[in-house]
Amino acid sequence: MQLRMALLDASQGDADTARNFRRELDCDLIEFDVSGGELPETFAYDACVVTGSRASVYWDEPWIAPLKEWVGAAIDREMPCLGICYGHQLLADVIGGTVEGMEDYELGYRTVSHDGGRLFEGIDPDFTVFTTHSDAVTELPAEATRTAENDRGIHGFRLGHVFGVQAHPEYDMETAERVANGKREHLTDERVDRVVAGVNEDAYDAACEAKVIFENFRQYAADLQAERGEVGAREAERPESANAR
């Protein structure tokens, strides 16, 4: 039986988000437009993934507090959780970390270093990945472990079954170029042009190494279910919300 994961799509209607995660996650992926107010009605999932977003975790948007509450309850139930970019920041916030605005964007293909932990198995210690964020996790609770970083700060953490990754290993070249061009209202054309020029096959091929993060997370969730003696610990027969996509 395939693992059943909840994709908590916080992208505010970005169609590339679900497409990219569908490609990278080999599982029964149930999608929820959480930025549109949709949340799973149950915790009958083997794992959940929180996506990126144009929002900040500290904004007073009506959908953010309920999302934090659901994720906090999932963590309490020891559900494996993976956060990407905004999701990384939201998970850090939920477990007691601090998220703050940065003085400048981190944008483009960048080098990140990891600690060799479970999520990064099979990835070179210094690896390439596409980044786009103007908020960052600036502090983690004492019990959490920083698992990845670069010169701009924290790029990964783990606490129990909770994993955060600041960058976007799920991006394809089309998404990276579109997202970079979308920053022209915040950054100079010269800087954006440099980033767009860097979105090429060589850079993307190098960044594809980081995509194993998703298989590592899926395998972690599968191994955890096997250790618990149950594959798919969930209410398999109960229909999910009609809002699920």
Please identify every residue annotated as catalytic: 85, 168, 170
Least Cα distance to 244 among 3, 1, 4, 2 occurs for: 4
Residue 93 tokens read as 């916030």
Bridge partners, residue 164, by sequence: 83, 157
What is d(CA 74, CA 47) in angstroms, rounded to the nearest whole number? Answer: 9
Q: Determine the longest span between alpha carbons in the chain, in angstroms.
A: 55
What is d(CA 75, CA 217) in angstroms, rounded to the nearest whole number? Answer: 15
Pairing of strands 153-159, 145-150: antiparallel
What is d(CA 71, CA 91) in angstroms, rounded to the nearest whole number? Answer: 8
Q: How far apart are the first and last CA of the chain?
A: 20
How far, rounded to the nearest angstrom, does the alpha carbon of residue 47 sit from its chain's CA centroid? 13
What is d(CA 241, CA 155) in angstroms, rounded to the nearest whole number? Answer: 33
Bridge partners, residue 127, by sequence: 112
